[in-house]
Amino acid sequence: MKLSLVVPCYNEQDNVQEFYHCTKACFKGHIDDYEIVFVNDGSADKTLEKLKTLVEYDEPNLQIISFSRNFGKESAIYAGLARSKGERVCIIDADLQQRPEVVLEMMKIMDSKPETDCVCAYQEKRKESGLMSFTKSMFYKIINKLSEVDFVNGASDFRLMNRTMVNTILSMTEYHRFSKGIFGWIGFNTEYIPYEVAQRKHGETKWSPGKLFKYAMGGIIAFSTAPLKFVTFIGFLSAFLAVAYMIFVIIQKLCFGIAVPGFATITVLILLMGGLILFCLGIIGEYLAKMYVQLKSRPIYIEREHLENKHTDNEK
């Protein structure tokens, strides 16, 4: 099989069938040896029923994986990659914001440049509010400073990869997955092409600002130990300031005979140090918590159902 499309779906009841037919129409005459792997990430709406209808109508090139609950997009991507059979695999959203035409463009680039392992589409212009766009750009600046891994601003999960790269990603079985970091960490020759995000067809985005913030923090913890070094730095800094202040107080007392009013200074210092210690403990705790969950070695996702139509377009 030439190509697998991995499509994570969470509450996409109005999009999945349209996505399937739209992709099929777009690929007609260009690629016929492909499959679409839908991953139903514990949707609470009729997404699974809509997907099953496609199987009932005996639509070709189809796999459906259904999770036992919502595990998140990262887990859905992992499950889709694990089930995919294509020599090349493309991760694409179900809401048609990422057009299947771009996949054809990616295929052409890979055909013409055999040394390319991955073609990644990035948004040249973000179609979001100014504040959101600014916050995301800041996140990329910060994480690139803190981590040794390269993060490309605007690059999404929308990418076509060869089998070697897919297998490498599958070999990384970490529980807290941050694909943007994993793609950068494993390396491989990646070509970046600009693309324009289309309007979401139906439904709404699953990423609230709170969820995005948590995701961003998870990414920093997964790909950088800089926050831990920051804790050490704070420790050094406060010890240095304490010694400097002590010398200052001794000089005041011995040379100028000034009695230092103790109570207010001590209260402020205790509060400040208490706050700093708790803050640093919190940072260490974040890493410990991630280690704790990882140590339990729980599966990244749980499949409840797996359906497949084995025949391709030309066999039907």
* Binding partner of residue 206 among ligand UDP, Mg ion, none, CB cut-off 5 to 8 Å per kind: ligand UDP
Q: How many residues bind Mg ion (CB under 5 A)?
A: 3
Applying CB under 6 A, which part among 88-96, 141-149, 229-237, 291-299 lies near ligand UDP?
88-96
* Least Cβ distance, residue 172 to Mg ion (angstroms): 25
Question: What is the amino acid identity at position 54?
Answer: L
CA distances from 260 to 123, 131, 263, 266, 269 (A): 60, 48, 9, 11, 14
CA dist., res. 26 & res. 29, Å (int): 8
* Binding partner of residue 149 among ligand UDP, Mg ion, none, CB cut-off 5 to 8 Å per kind: none
CA dist., res. 116 & res. 220, Å (int): 28
C-beta neighbour count of 37 within 10 angstroms: 26
* Binding partner of residue 73 among Mg ion, ligand UDP, none, CB cut-off 5 to 8 Å per kind: ligand UDP
Tell whether residue 35 is a contact of ligand UDP (CB under 6 A). no
Q: In the set 61, 63, 97, 123, which binds ligand UDP (CB under 6 A)?
A: 97
Q: In the set 52, 85, 176, 206, which binds ligand UDP (CB under 6 A)?
A: 206
Q: In the set 11, 23, 47, 97, which binds Mg ion (CB under 5 A)?
A: 97
CA dist., res. 269 & res. 75, Å (int): 45
Applying CB under 5 A, which part among 28-36, 86-94, 100-108, 152-160 lies near Mg ion?
86-94
Applying CB under 6 A, which part among 4-12, 49-57, 224-232, 284-292 lies near ligand UDP?
4-12
* Least Cβ distance, residue 75 to Mg ion (angstroms): 17
Tell whether residue 224 is a contact of Mg ion (CB under 5 A). no
CA dist., res. 223 & res. 178, Å (int): 9
Contact 231, 150 (CB under 8 A): no
**3-state secondary structure at position 130:** helix
* Sheet order of strands, 190-195 included: 190-195, 118-123, 155-162, 88-91, 3-9, 34-40, 62-67, 303-309
Give the interface with Mg ion as residue ranges (CB under 5 A). 93, 95, 97
Give the interface with ligand UDP as residue ranges (CB under 6 A). 8-10, 12, 41, 70, 72-73, 76, 93-95, 97, 205-207
